[in-house]
Amino acid sequence: MRSLFAAGALVLVSHLGVTESIDAVQTQAATLPSVRIHTSAKRKSTVTHGQSGFDTFANPVLSSDKSKVLYDAYATFVENGVEFTYSLVDGSWYLGTKGSESRCLSSGPVPVNSLMQSLNDATPIPSASIGDDKIECTGGKLLQTSFGGTDYALCVSGASGFTAYSSDLTIEVEYLNTPVKMPTLTLSEASKSCQNVEKAFPMTPTAQSSTKTRSLEQASHMAMAASTCSCKSKPRPCIFFHGSGNKHEEPLLQDTPKLLRGKLGSISGHAPCCSSIKYAVLDTDDYEWTNGALHQKYCTHSLSMSKTSNLSSKTIDDTIIVTHSMAGLVMAGALTTGKCKLGAGTSWVAMSPPMKGSMASDYLQDFCTGKFLGVTTKLLGLIGECPTSKARLSTVYQNEKLSTPALNAAYAAAQKTYVSNVSAAIENFRSRI
């Protein structure tokens, strides 16, 4: 029979400087066996199932030797008429819908055990702020901790619970007087062996150290980034160009990236400098980045974004152009060949442009031409990577064996144009081409 225990209350007592015996603290904690965790999202990117706020209920469970604690938990969401239940049992997260079997997950909506364990490592701070807003902790104890790769300021409010603040989330933990009734799981055979993604943590050593031997030194003021950002320049219409590998083309610009099949995600709600957002959907599989017709499409789409652009002089003005991967080469090529030019009010943001080409294209061509034999070559053919597309062949590495003098010269010219015109660059080696 597993025992319930509110470990958070135990650690809470240690940080508030109470020096009661561990037995006394355990007696007090036993009256608070469960917690309600209310999570509030401050940004659209942290919304879950369309909900900016949700509750997670958890029961702490002691190990057989009472040295560690592991929380079981659950959270329920309703989206588009469908009820989703996330359950954390014995360190494994599951997701189920009404009438269906639950499946394994690699994580849950809240890292329950990391959250509760973070109390053990919290240190006192004199003050904290998010942007220009000071975190108020009237009548409580202000601490600093981290979990899930994010720093948090904690306001610990006696035996009632605590609140964790970050730039993205506010997490309120309330100690409850009665255990939580966990939902029943219907598991498939595969789900019965789900991986443990949350771990039990020591329940008393840190607390004992804090109360008996360790004097916590107070850290300095904790400053966190603001939860929202504003445009530091003039808001302008934004156009996004995707990289290679897209075989479908649309004559008109799109309001969403749905037709790009994962080539670009939606930036809506995350780009305060964009007064409007459009996505180009172009054939970047059958055309080399040096292709003049492709250059012209880039220019035509870009010139259409702002009323202040000059068609007669081919000047793109008051526009933010965002290119991803090979699109950076195409844009540089369009400017190099005079198909259009950037006005003073236009900014070009290039994400991972392969300005010298990509060795991935060289390796792919070697596989597709039979230099390397085996299963890999057959698989590449099955998924449509062999024979190598025109776009891929045009991005073989500059000055290497598969490149040509003409392509080497085109790279050199594009690099010069790129340096002279790009406003900002974001590098990500995993998303090349």
User: Closest Cα partner for 265 from 104, 96, 7, 44?
Assistant: 44
Residue with tokens 């080497």: 408
- Assess contact for 105 and 93: CB atoms under 8 A: yes
pLDDT, one tens digit per residue, over 53-64 is: 999 999 999 888
Do β-strands 424-426 and 82-89 pair in parallel, antiparallel, or remain unpaired?
Answer: unpaired
Q: DSSP letter string over 255-277?
A: SSSGGGTTSS---TTS-TTEEEE
Boundary (domain end) residue, out of 160, 195, 224: 224
> Mean pLDDT over residues 84-108, rounded?
91
Residue with tokens 């220009």: 132
What pLDDT, on a 0 to 100 scale, did the predictor assign at position 430? 42
For residues 250 and 384, membership in a common domain is answered with: yes
For residues 234 and 382, membership in a common domain is answered with: yes
Residue 52 C-beta-side C-alpha neighbours within 13 Å: 5
CB atoms within 10 A of CB 296: 14
For residues 200 and 234, membership in a common domain is answered with: no
Q: Is 291 helix (H, G, I), strand (E, B) or coil?
A: coil
Q: Is 320 helix (H, G, I), strand (E, B) or coil?
A: strand
Number of H helices, E strands in the chain: 10, 22
> Mean pLDDT over residues 270-281, rounded?
95
pLDDT, one tens digit per residue, over 368-377 is: 877 666 656 5
Asked if residue 404 is part of any domain, the answer here is: yes
How far is Cα 150 from Cα 88, in angstroms, rounded to an integer?
Answer: 21
Asked if residue 7 is part of any domain, the answer here is: no
How far is Cα 94 from Cα 104, in angstroms, rounded to an integer?
Answer: 5
Asked if residue 17 is part of any domain, the answer here is: no
- CATH number for 296: 3.40.50
What pLDDT, on a 0 to 100 scale, did the predictor assign at position 16? 41
Boundary (domain end) residue, out of 178, 193, 224: 224
For residues 43 and 141, membership in a common domain is answered with: yes
Asked if residue 20 is part of any domain, the answer here is: no
How far is Cα 378 from Cα 385, in angstroms, rounded to an integer?
Answer: 10
How far is Cα 308 from Cα 304, in angstroms, rounded to an integer?
Answer: 10
For residues 197 and 341, membership in a common domain is answered with: no
Report DSSP state, residue 100: S
Question: How many separate domains does the chain show?
Answer: 2
Asked if residue 238 is part of any domain, the answer here is: yes
Confidence of residue 211 (pLDDT cuts 50, 70, 90): very low
What is the dihedral sign for C-alpha 53, 57, 60, 61?
A: negative
Name the residue range of residue 140's domain. Answer: 35-206+218-224
Task: Say which range, 87-96, 135-144, 177-186, 278-287, has the weakest mean pLDDT.
Answer: 177-186
What pLDDT, on a 0 to 100 scale, did the predictor assign at position 2? 36
What pLDDT, on a 0 to 100 scale, did the predictor assign at position 343? 98
pLDDT value at 127 more than 70: yes
For residues 199 and 236, membership in a common domain is answered with: no
> Mean pLDDT over residues 106-126, rounded?
92
Asked if residue 18 is part of any domain, the answer here is: no
How far is Cα 379 from Cα 386, in angstroms, rounded to an integer?
Answer: 9
Q: Strand (E) positions, 44-158? A: 53-62, 68-79, 82-89, 92-97, 103-105, 123-124, 128-130, 133-134, 141-147, 150-157
For residues 262 and 401, membership in a common domain is answered with: yes
How far is Cα 109 from Cα 94, in angstroms, rounded to an integer?
Answer: 11
**Greatest pairwise CA separation for the chain in angstroms:** 84
Long-range contacts, stretch 264-271, CB < 8 angstroms, 24+ apart: 264/240, 264/324, 267/238, 267/240, 269/44, 270/44, 270/45, 271/238
Per residue, the 3-state secondary structure of 156-217, as one string, reads EEHHHEEEEECCCEEEEEEEECCCCCCCCCCECCCHHHCCCCCCCEECCHHHHHHHHCCCCC
How far is Cα 64 from Cα 270, in angstroms, rounded to an integer?
Answer: 48
pLDDT, one tens digit per residue, over 322-337 is: 999 999 999 999 999 9
For residues 324 and 363, membership in a common domain is answered with: yes
What pLDDT, on a 0 to 100 scale, did the predictor assign at position 345? 97
Confidence of residue 313 (pLDDT cuts 50, 70, 90): very high
pLDDT value at 215 more than 60: no
What pLDDT, on a 0 to 100 scale, did the predictor assign at position 376? 60
Q: What is the dihedral of CA 373, 379, 383, 385, to 10 degrees?
A: -20
For residues 170 and 317, membership in a common domain is answered with: no
For residues 185 and 291, membership in a common domain is answered with: no
For residues 97 and 153, membership in a common domain is answered with: yes
Tokens describing residue 398:
């500059």
- Assess contact for 239 and 301: CB atoms under 8 A: yes
Asked if residue 83 is part of any domain, the answer here is: yes
Residue with tokens 């958070």: 8
Asked if residue 4 is part of any domain, the answer here is: no
> Mean pLDDT over residues 4-14, rounded?
39
Boundary (domain end) residue, out of 194, 224, 254: 224
> Mean pLDDT over residues 33-60, rounded?
91
For residues 199 and 255, membership in a common domain is answered with: no
- Assess contact for 159 and 69: CB atoms under 8 A: no
- Assess contact for 176 and 59: CB atoms under 8 A: no
